[in-house]
């Protein structure tokens, strides 16, 4: 049976669906993240990626479980592993390397150059520790201060390759590039393996390098997409999808762009949309976004700061629709360079919401991409059928 995947946008994040059902982690949590790009990478890997080595979906699900508090981000006993970390202790079996190079003299430069690169990375990392702090203590402290996604990646890399923790931390922290990390793992495996004979075969090293490169790329891509600066947020995804029956863009809250002045009619347009969403199936209003999806920014409304903007918006909502709508409306702001977009997330109200305008009340609903006012008879019928 073919497997189908989908990404469903929620209030503050995105959740992964498999065959029309929420994909749960092994610990029963939803496979979700605040960055849609990360979920797209997971789906791409599941559909067309390699099935050997590290898988993005395993990283995402372990992260989801850790963020839900079901498990620790890292299940590795760092203190125990550090006691035998080959980069912190003189436990390297150099004899293995010498035996290998006796059979493959061409590996001499490979081992020498990459051992030097690894030693430089270790030295650069350890040079940052405070005087008197042991290498073990500094490494343990560095691991404890990692972000949850970094701890997950460190844990999974260790499970796949062992070889202590420092070499994997050097990749995560950027002291080693992907290619340097791959070569470092090969050199460490040569030096610590009980049977190093396979490494005398250059084809084996080439195949091993491909697996290591895959794992390192999955790890670094995963961390890149967990970074806030690389996030495709909910607001960006809403803009990307465009306007429809549950999505509307407004360039400003109160500023008339044509007449270059404040206008109550411009404010009323946003309020109609909010009221209509509440009386229908809910929806998203983005203020500071033009009809074509480009960013105007709420700065055009000329408030002193973002807090003033939100205070004014909420004052309008509460005075025209009542304080009870607070439970169905949420607002948030997101910066796009020097411009800001306001997201007004509206849930379906549990009772009818009327909009007070110029001392009269109107009942709005969504009809396609528009917010329409219903006449009294039509409004009563709609309320009877929907509330």
Q: What is the pTM of this model?
A: 0.78
Q: What is the mean pLDDT of residues 280-303?
A: 97
Residue 378 has pLDDT above 90, yes or no: yes
Other C-beta atoms closer than 10 Å to the C-beta of 69 total 8
Percent of the chain with pLDDT over 90: 79
Residue 91 has pLDDT above 60, yes or no: no
Terminal alpha carbon distance of the chain: 41
pLDDT score, position 90: 58
Residue 214 has pLDDT above 80, yes or no: yes
> CB under 8 Å to 87, separation ≥6 — which residues?
118, 122, 164, 166, 167, 188
Q: What tokens were used for 372?
A: 């329409």
pLDDT score, position 195: 78
Q: pLDDT tens digit string along 134-164?
A: 999 999 999 999 999 999 999 999 999 999 9
pLDDT score, position 193: 81
| CB contact at 8 A, 339 and 347 | no
Give the pLDDT band of residue 100 (cuts 50, 70, 90): low
HEC profile of 12-53: CCEEEEECCEECECCCCCECEECCHHHHHHHHHHHHHCCCCC
CA distance 115 to 277: 63
Q: What is the mean pLDDT of residues 185-201?
A: 85
Q: pLDDT tens digit string along 346-371?
A: 999 999 999 999 889 999 999 999 99
Helix (H) / strand (E) containing 11: none
**If you average pLDDT over every residue of the chain, what do you get?**
92
CA distance 24 to 31: 6
pLDDT score, position 99: 65
pLDDT score, position 242: 93
Q: Is 285 helix (H, G, I), strand (E, B) or coil?
A: strand
CA distance 283 to 203: 57
pLDDT score, position 1: 47
Q: What is the dihedral of CA 21, 23, 27, 29, to 10 degrees?
A: -80
Residue 231 has pLDDT above 80, yes or no: yes
How deeply is 187 buried, as exposed, middle or buried, from its count of CB atoms within 10 A (0-12, 13-18, 19+)?
buried
Other C-beta atoms closer than 10 Å to the C-beta of 272 total 20
- Beta-bridge partner residues of 289: 295
Nearest to 194 by CA among 85, 104, 93, 86: 93
Parse the chain into domains and list their residue ranges: 5-230, 243-386
Nearest to 31 by CA among 1, 52, 8, 53: 8
Q: What is the mean pLDDT of residues 299-324?
A: 97
pLDDT score, position 53: 87
| CB contact at 8 A, 104 and 181 | no
Helix (H) / strand (E) containing 199: none
Q: What is the mean pLDDT of residues 166-180?
A: 97
Q: pLDDT tens digit string along 66-86?
A: 999 999 988 888 888 888 898
| CB contact at 8 A, 249 and 243 | yes
pLDDT score, position 50: 67
**In this predicted model, which residue has the larger pLDDT, 344 or 48?**
344
> CB under 8 Å to 135, separation ≥6 — which residues?
88, 126, 129
Please give the class, per CATH, of domain 243-386. alpha beta
pLDDT score, position 354: 98
Give the pLDDT band of residue 380 (cuts 50, 70, 90): very high
pLDDT score, position 48: 83
- C-alpha to C-alpha distances, 366 to 107, 180, 248, nearest whole angstrom: 70, 57, 11
Give the pLDDT band of residue 192 (cuts 50, 70, 90): confident
pLDDT score, position 89: 76
């Amino acid at each position: 049976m073919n497997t189908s995947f989908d990404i469903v946008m929620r209030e503050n994040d995105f959740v992964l669906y498999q065959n029309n059902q929420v994909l749960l982690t092994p610990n029963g949590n939803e496979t979700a993240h605040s960055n849609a790009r990360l979920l797209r990478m997971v789906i791409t890997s599941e559909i067309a990626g390699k099935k050997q080595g590290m898988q993005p979906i395993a990283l995402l699900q372990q992260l989801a479980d850790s963020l839900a508090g079901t498990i620790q981000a890292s299940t590795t006993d760092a203190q125990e592993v550090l006691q035998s970390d080959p980069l912190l202790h003189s436990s390297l079996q150099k004899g293995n390397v010498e035996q290998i190079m006796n059979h493959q003299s061409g590996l001499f430069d490979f081992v020498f150059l990459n051992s030097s690169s690894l030693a430089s990375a270790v030295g650069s990392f350890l040079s940052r520790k405070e005087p008197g702090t042991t290498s073990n203590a500094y490494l343990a402290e560095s691991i404890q201060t990692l972000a949850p996604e970094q701890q997950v990646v460190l844990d999974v890399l260790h499970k796949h390759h062992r070889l202590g923790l420092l070499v994997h931390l050097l990749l995560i922290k950027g002291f080693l590039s992907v290619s340097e990390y791959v070569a470092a793992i090969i050199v460490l495996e040569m030096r610590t393996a009980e049977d190093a004979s396979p490494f005398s075969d250059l084809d084996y090293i080439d195949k091993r390098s491909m697996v290591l490169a895959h794992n390192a790329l999955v790890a670094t891509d995963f961390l890149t997409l967990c970074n806030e600066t690389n996030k495709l947020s909910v607001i960006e995804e809403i803009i990307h999808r465009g306007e429809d029956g549950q999505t509307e863009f407004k360039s400003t809250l109160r500023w008339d762009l044509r007449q270059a002045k404040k206008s109550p009619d411009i404010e009323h347009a946003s309020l109609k949309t909010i009221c209509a969403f509440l009386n229908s199936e809910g929806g998203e209003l983005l203020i500071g976004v033009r009809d074509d999806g480009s960013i105007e920014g709420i700065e055009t409304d000329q408030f002193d700061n973002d807090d003033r903007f939100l205070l004014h918006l909420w004052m309008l909502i509460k005075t025209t629709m009542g304080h009870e709508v607070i439970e169905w409306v949420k607002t948030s702001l997101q910066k796009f360079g020097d411009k800001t977009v306001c997201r007004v997330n509206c849930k379906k109200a549990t009772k009818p919401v009327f909009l007070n305008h110029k001392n009269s009340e109107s009942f709005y609903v969504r009809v396609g991409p528009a917010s329409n006012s219903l006449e009294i008879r039509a409004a009563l019928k709609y309320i009877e059928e929907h509330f």
